[in-house]
Copies of this chain bind each other. A is one copy, B any other.
């Protein structure tokens, strides 16, 4: 039985980690932390956890945490994460960090889009935890940088096309839509119920911080620098990201052929479902699960392909993928505890 801790348990990602870890047969949650709720049961913060996960929130004391747990999930905002992660590693724990702090390999790019980096020496150690791409490295990593929610949806959608050389790389446009849990649980007017409900808007156009993360991974796949337009939108649902990706086909293919590339790429993957020709994803078919659904259409009229992917931003986009990485790191089957059917409706 592996002992695990969740640092930053009072956010939505923290709660989702606890939900998923609670039902995992190979681990025991031994420690939860939350600066805001020290001394209070986490089930008071999230009544859904009552009588299921009844730990009391502790301080973010890295030695204490590493003493109680072999593997630690840090579910903290960027910048705060890198104040905690080095101490956890030094104290001997393995870490899956769900912040942005260790995702970008180039510290210069990080500092351009975020702020100064205080822990750059660890960037070489960190493995980008998109298991479908890096599972070998994840298995031996001490620090996994869990991918961002939007990047997960986009990279899984684009990887097979880029690997196959089918993408005119100068034409890539990604239009993404995320549910409101992606905005976190801090009290802000902009995420009040009445501000989000019956609304829909784009935000961060041309400037969202997930852009360099997507570009880093697509560039690695292409073997050449890739730039794209990435436009996120705020969707009035609790959970779910749908990304609609457009690009000019480098060589003519019909929809059926494109589906075949995806099927070949993702054969045997437990969490990527390639939809047959004529079907397209809906976030409601994956929400609550670690699944990524992908559909594709070749528009022969314009010579473009449209790839659509759907994930749950809190699961495959955060907590579920983190547990998938943990499974690799502890030598368990990668899918352990993550194979549930998504609840619908």
- A interface list, Cβ under 8 A from B: 12, 15-16, 18-19, 22-23, 46-53, 171, 173, 175, 177, 180-181, 185-189, 191-203, 205-206, 227-229, 231, 233, 235-240, 242, 244, 246, 273, 275, 279-289, 293, 297-299, 301-302, 304, 306, 308, 310, 339-345
Beyond known contacts A12-B194, A53-B341: 12 more, CB 8 A cutoff: A15-B344, A16-B343, A22-B341, A50-B273, A50-B285, A171-B171, A195-B345, A197-B237, A198-B237, A198-B287, A203-B280, A235-B235
Chain B residues within 8 Å of A188, by CB: 187
Shortest CB–CB separation between residue A4 and chain B, in angstroms?
15
Name the CB-closest residue of B to A235: B200
Provide the residues of chain B in CB contact with A23, threshold 8 Å.
339-341
A46-B344, A47-B293, A299-B206 given; A280·B19 CB < 8 A? no
Verify A205–B297 contact, CB threshold 8 A: yes
The 13 sampled A-B contact pairs (Cβ below 8 Å) are: A22-B340, A23-B339, A47-B293, A49-B341, A50-B273, A185-B189, A193-B195, A195-B345, A197-B237, A198-B239, A200-B282, A201-B283, A205-B299
Most buried by B among A195, A289, A293: A195
Whether B280 contacts A205 by the Cβ 8 Å rule is yes
A48 touches B344 (CB 8 A): yes
Contact B206 A197 (CB under 8 A): no
Query: With the chains together, A258 CA to B301 CA distance in Å?
Result: 30
Specify which of A16, A188, A195, A199 lies most central, judged by the most chain B CB atoms within 10 Å of its CB.
A199
* CB within 8 Å for A302 and B227 given contacts A52-B339, A198-B237, A339-B52: yes
Q: Which of B180, B187, B310 contacts A187 (CB 8 A)?
A: B187
Task: Say whether B237 contacts A200, CB under 8 Å.
Answer: yes
Interface centre among A12, A22, A181, A345, by most B CB within 10 Å?
A: A345
- The answer to whether B50 touches A242 (Cβ under 8 A) is no
For A236, list chain B residues within 8 Å (CB). 193, 197, 235-237
For A194, list chain B residues within 8 Å (CB): 12, 180-181, 185, 191, 238, 345
| Cβ A189 vs Cβ B187 within 8 A | yes
Q: Is the CB–CB distance between A304 and B229 below 8 Å?
A: yes
